[in-house]
Amino acid sequence: MAFISVAEELSAKGMTEVENKFITKYLPVLDANAVKVYLFALYISQSGKINYSVEDLAKRLEMSEEDVKGYFEYLEEFELVSITARSPFEVKLLDAENVYGTPKKLKPEKYSAFVAAVQSVITGRMISTTEFMEYFYLLDEYSFEQNALIMIINYCVNLKGNDIKLAYIKKVAKNFADEGITTAKKVEEKLSSYTSSTPALLKIFSALSINRRPDVDDNAMYEKWSKQLGFADDAIICAAKYFKAKSTQKIDAALEELYKNRKFDPKEIAAYCKDRNSLFGCAEETAKALGVFIQNAAPYVDNYISRWRDCGFEPDTIALIADYCFLQGKNSFELMNDYVASLYDEGIITETAVTERLEKIAADDKLLKNILNRCGLTRKVIEHDRQCLKRWKEWDFSDEMLYAAADAAAGKNNPVAYINAVLSSWKAQGVTTPAETSQHASERGGESSKAVIERHYFDLRAEARRRAENMQARAMKDEAYAAIKKKLNSLSIKLAFAEVNDEALAARISDEMARLESDADKRLNAIGIDKSALVPRYKCKLCNDTGYDGSGKQCACLKKFIADNGL
């Protein structure tokens, strides 16, 4: 009977074909794990598993991804495979018949002293024949002097201990070879430079609580940071702490960013990072206000927040705009960016200017809602309504005149268009106020007297406002009161829009504002300011220094002024 036979059941099953040359020529000398990787790669290729990745293979063989890649590199040295791409990792299986991939016939006596030296360095385990073959390959392929490779192995053992892996030694050796460092003298010089930078790296690691000794890769990073990028040790530590970097790769990324932004001194780095953190926080708060989820704030910081800040918009101002955009359905960074750009084009940048604009918009929308209600319309305010109101204001019509026109438009098929027609007619007649409606004819010939009267009442109102503004400025110097007012201003804008769109939300905002108003009153009492002094105290309580009462008739104070001045 033959040494090996195959059961009929096995013959009927799927098979993976392996070249005989692989079995006879390579199998006896290859590392056992490399054989496993090669055979599984054959199985994948012949089974048509086109979506298999190196991660999948590593998981299936219970190996690390790095080890699998290392074994493919090992197989590539025998020209059994060719690594065609690194990211993503791709491999092509080659013909085992090639002449170049034949395992090298090594002369053991040539390496006897080397073998003894390496075994004396790695004392924690017996080195396998396969591992020695790897070292022999390094000696022949990269033209290492034996003493040079022994020095590298010794360095790796001192760094990592007796459980040092072959893959790490190969990686370090190849790094040396890539730099042309293959002689004992050059290796000694290179290792001495590592030793000189080790104290600095130990200091950095200690400050960042990195609990390991620096290795060859760390040294290469440090040389880049200190020599190529020009960072001092204290700046490296400062950057790592602010960026919360706990690995040399993350420290490197942080320093690259700082280098790009020309921040080298610890003070510059601290200021940059604080502002950077502020930008990220602003992006997250803006996203919450807009009602959107962002997984990574970085793109939003780069494309929106940092640009808005460069234009002069402060975080509190951005928050105000975000609240407004959410209420207006502009609930995305892109739509908000359009609105921010429109404000910037108009020179509206400061928190005060933006607040005034938003308060004006809120007031205008509230006025429009009342006008629409008088017309018999219950719909929401739309952009066309806002454009109409802007035109009516440019025609110098008061709110009372707008309400009068709305009353006239009630019941019409197109009330807003009718209001436009009515106001246009009044404008042509020069009728722009309730007073002019009843007195238009009688006042045509008295322009000089009218100018005197208007200037008198303008001065009265200006003086009343000046006194109120001075008192308001005094109150705002108190930080506690200023904080309450700031919150009230923000809520007042939200309330105006909520009253138009969401009655329940409006009620909640009103309750919150009432509580804050009470807190503000208490604070004013504490600092000795009468609340009534914060609003203009007009000389005439009936007309508020306008000369006309609520019905548009001449106030008693105006009649007295006319009589006293013979107008």
**Under 8 Å CB-to-CB from 233, ≥6 apart: which residues?**
200, 203, 204, 226
What percent of the chain shows pLDDT beyond 70? 90
Burial of 227 (0-12, 13-18, 19+ CB in 10 A): exposed
In a 10 Å sphere around its CB, with 0-12 CB exposed, 13-18 middle and 19+ buried, how is residue 557 labelled? buried
Determine contact, residues 305/318, Cβ cutoff 8 Å. Answer: yes
Structural contact between residues 209 and 168, judged by C-beta atoms closer than 8 angstroms: no
Residue 28 confidence (pLDDT): 80
Give per-residue burial for 492-528: e unless 16+ CB within 10 Å, then b. bbbbbbbbbbeeeebeebeeebeebeebbeebbeeee
- In this structure, of 113-122, 127-136, 213-222, 370-379, the range with the lowest mean pLDDT score is 213-222
Token pair of 332, please?
A: 């995305």
Could you give the percent of the chain with pLDDT greater than 90? 10
The predicted-structure confidence for 349-380, as pLDDT tens digits, reads as follows 988 888 888 888 888 888 898 888 888 888 88
Contact 237, 226 (CB under 8 A): no
| Alpha helix stretches (DSSP H) within 333-414 | 333-345, 351-375, 383-394, 399-409
| Cα 406 to Cα 386: distance, rounded to the nearest angstrom | 15
Q: Are 49 and 136 in a shared domain?
A: no
**Domain-embedded: residue 410:** yes
Same domain, 122 and 68: no
> Of 214-228, 336-350, 438-452, where does mean pLDDT reach its minimum?
438-452
Identify the sign of the CA torsion 465, 471, 476, 482.
negative
In this structure, the answer to whether residues 542 and 457 fall within a common structural domain is: yes
447 pLDDT exceeds 50?
Answer: no
Kindly state whether residues 36 and 86 are assigned to the same domain. yes
Instruction: Indicate the pLDDT class of residue 74, thresholds 50, 70 and 90.
Output: confident
Residue 172 pLDDT greater than 90, yes or no: no
Residue with tokens 């007796």, as numbered in its chain? 162
Average model confidence (pLDDT) across the chain: 82
Q: Are residues 161 and 134 in the same domain?
A: yes
What global pTM score does this model have? 0.38
28, with CB counted inside 10 A (0-12, 13-18, 19+), is exposed
User: pLDDT: is 220 or 41 the higher one?
Assistant: 41
For residue 183, the number of C-alpha atoms closer than 13 Å in the C-beta half-sphere is 3
Cβ 219 vs Cβ 200: under 8 Å? no
144 falls within a domain: yes
Q: Are residues 87 and 62 in the same domain?
A: yes
Q: What is the pLDDT of residue 449?
A: 67
455 and 559 co-located in one domain: yes
- Residue 210 lies inside a defined structural domain of this protein: yes
DSSP letter for 553, please.
P
- Residue 97 pLDDT > 90, yes or no? no
pLDDT at 505 over 80: yes
Do 467 and 566 have their domain in common?
yes
The region of weakest confidence among 189-198, 318-327, 460-469, 480-489 is 189-198
Q: Above 60 in pLDDT, residue 285?
A: yes
Contact of 527 with 454, CB cutoff 8 Å: no
Residue type, 487: K
What gap in Å lies between CA 549 and CA 541, rounded to an integer?
10
What is the span of the domain harbouring residue 245? 191-264
From 231, 264, 297, the end of a domain falls on 264
Residue 6 lies in a domain: no
Residue 378 lies in a domain: yes
- 101 assigned to some structural domain: no
> Residue 502 falls within a domain, yes or no?
no
| Band of pLDDT at residue 8, cut at 50, 70 and 90 | low
Report the residue count for the chain. Answer: 567
26 within a domain of the structure (yes/no) = yes
pLDDT at 337: 92
Question: What number of CA atoms fall less than 13 Å from residue 58's CA on the CB side?
Answer: 14
What CATH code is carried by the domain that includes residue 63? 1.10.10
Q: In this predicted model, what pLDDT tens digit does every residue of 323-333 receive, in sequence order?
A: 888 888 888 99
Copy the structure tokens of residue 476. Answer: 């705002």
Q: Which of 28, 63, 93 is the last residue of a domain?
A: 93
- Please compute the mean of the pLDDT values over residues 91-110 and round it to a whole number: 61
Residues 112 and 135 in one domain: yes
Q: Average pLDDT for residues 497-520, to the nearest whole number?
A: 84
Residue 302: is its pLDDT beyond 50? yes
Select from 246, 259, 192 the least CA-distant residue to 219.
192
End position of a domain, from candidates 401, 434, 467? 434
Instruction: Evaluate if residue 268 carries a pLDDT over 80.
Output: yes
Same domain, 535 and 470: yes
Rounded to 10 degrees, what is the CA torsion of 28, 29, 31, 34? -80
| Spatial separation of the C-alpha atoms in residues 249 and 329, rounded to whole Å | 42
Our count of domains for the chain comes to 6
Q: Where are the alpha helices (DSSP H) in 12-60?
A: 20-21, 32-47, 54-60
Predicted confidence at residue 446, as pLDDT, reads 42
- The whole-number pLDDT of residue 445 equals 41
452 and 564 inside one domain: yes
From the number of C-beta atoms within 10 Å of its C-beta (0-12, 13-18, 19+), residue 327 rates as buried
The Cα 178–Cα 232 span in angstroms is 28
Q: Which of 447-451, 541-545, 560-564 has the highest mean pLDDT?
A: 541-545
Q: What one-character DSSP code corresponds to residue 109?
A: G
Kindly state whether residues 303 and 238 are assigned to the same domain: no
- pLDDT at position 207 is 80
The whole-angstrom separation of Cα 134 and Cα 128 is 10
Q: Which 3 state secondary structure label does DSSP give 104?
A: coil
